[in-house]
Amino acid sequence: MPLPSHKYSKRPLCGAKCKRTGLPCKNMPVNTSKTGRCRMHGGVIGKRNVLRGADHPQYRNAGQTRQERHERRAKSLMFQRLEEIGWHIDLFAKGSTKTRGRKVGGKLDLNQDDELIIALYESINTVKKS
């Protein structure tokens, strides 16, 4: 069904056609559409400035921007690697429990020298950035 504003306009119709009947679409093309298509058949409305973070109208909770998630992930990885190194060198008491929850960077086998070096590098590198 065409939009009501088309009745009073002398603009051409959308160039899309129905597969079954072969009739053209009865809606007007979008103003910025180079292909002459309506909003339902691929006429892009145009580029809008997308607001990010706290400026976005649907922003609800702090800590959910891409940069904040990245920083939180780096801190979690640093603490995870430091905890793994602590357990490896028997820094913690035998009765204590490990940190629960999802591990950020995957588990490393610290009995292998190269993975121990990776864990040390990741924990030290993150501390320097902070």
What gap in Å lies between CA 28 and CA 12, rounded to an integer?
7
- For residue 122, what are its two tokens? 């990741």
| pLDDT for 87 beyond 60 | yes
Spatial contact of 23 and 30, defined as CB atoms under 8 Å apart: no
Question: Under 8 Å CB-to-CB from 115, ≥6 apart: which residues?
Answer: 108, 109
pLDDT at 7 (0 to 100): 59
Could you report the per-residue pLDDT of 16-57, keeping only the tens digit for each? Answer: 887 788 888 888 877 766 677 887 787 766 556 677 777 777
Could you report the per-residue pLDDT of 35-46, keeping only the tens digit for each? Answer: 778 877 877 665
Mean pLDDT is highest, among 6-20, 35-49, 73-87, for 73-87
